[in-house]
Amino acid sequence: MTLGIESLTYRRWGDLQSAKDGDWLVERDGQVHTVDADSFNRTYRKVGPALYEKQGTVWAAPAGAEGWIQTHEGKTHYRAGDFLVWNNADKTDGYAIEKERFESLYEQDASEDTVTGLGEDST
């Protein structure tokens, strides 16, 4: 179901974020944000009624300094030690996530230098 909106703008991660009709509204641990429709459809799978799980491999590295990353939704600011994560090996479709949250949601793939998503999000 879509909301029939042209756009939605909100403040999160230290900057303005935006969503367009068809993007996903995601809730995890009381935190709500949007995810680009194409990115969501490639990286999540349905595991129950209104319950989705991140799937597949991501490429990640700790940030050496404070900065920001451009996402589909806007800019996400991060601190040194937070993780920069990409859904694609060519470092596109990226985002930043706090170190503690990253470590609770992802696990290292022992056979490669990649990490795999864990946990579930509600939509």
pLDDT by residue (tens digit) across 4-51?
777 799 999 999 999 998 999 998 888 899 999 999 999 999 999 989
Rounded Cα distance, 38 and 5, in Å: 17
Strand 44-48 and strand 51-54: the pairing is antiparallel
Per the CB < 8 A criterion, the answer to whether 9 and 16 are in contact is yes
**pTM of the complete model:** 0.80
Cβ contacts of residue 38 below 8 Å, gap of 6+? none
52: three-class secondary structure by DSSP:
strand
> Which of the pair, 110 or 106, is modelled with greater confidence?
106
Per the structure block, which two tokens stand in for 37?
């429709």
3-state secondary structure of 122: strand
Domain-wise residue ranges, the chain: 8-122
